[in-house]
Chains A and B, each alone.
Chain A
Amino acid sequence: MRLKHVTGLLCAAAMSLVLASGARAQDKVVKIGAILPMSGGTASIGAHAKAALEVAMDIINNAHPELGNLPLAKNAGLSGLGGAKIEIVFADNQGNPATGQNQALRLITEDKAAALFGSYQSGVTLTSSAIAEKYGIPFLNSESVAANLTERGFKWFFRTTPIATDFAKAYVDFLADIKAQGAKTDAIALVHDNTEYGTSVANTISAAFKDKGQAIAIDVAYPVNATDLQGQVLQLKEKKPDVIIMISYTSDAILFAKTMQSLDYKPPVLLADDAGYSDPSFIKAVGKISQGVFNRSSWAVGPFGSPSAIIADMYKKKSGEEMDDTVGRQMQGFFVLADAIDRAGSTDPAKIQAALKATDLKPEQLMMGYKGVKFDDKGQNVLASGLIIQLQDGENYTAVWPKANAEKAPVLPYKGW
Chain B
Amino acid sequence: MRLELGNVLIKDVQFGDTTKLEEGVLSINKQELIDILMEDEHLKKVEVDIAKPGEKVRITPVKDVIEPRVKVEGPGGVFPGILSKVDMVGSGKTNVLKGCAVMTTGKIVGFQEGIVDMSGPGADYTPFSKLINIVLVCDPVDGLKQHEHEKAVRLAGFKAAKYLGETARNVIPDEVKVYEVDTLTEGLKKYPNLPKVGYVQMLQTQGLLHDTYVYGVDAKQIIPTIMYPTESMDGAIVSGNCVSACDKNTTYHHLNNPVIEDLLKVHGKELNFVGVIITNENVYLADKERSSNMTAKLAEFLGLDAVIISQEGFGNPDTDLIMNCKKIEAKGIKTVIITDEYAGRDGASQSLADADKAADAVVTAGNANQVITLPPMDKVIGSLEYVDIIAGGFNGSLAEDGTITVEIQAITGATNEIGFSNLTARTY
Tell me, yes or no, whether A binds B: no
Which B residues lie at the A interface, using CB under 8 A? none
Which A residues lie at the B interface, using CB under 8 A? none
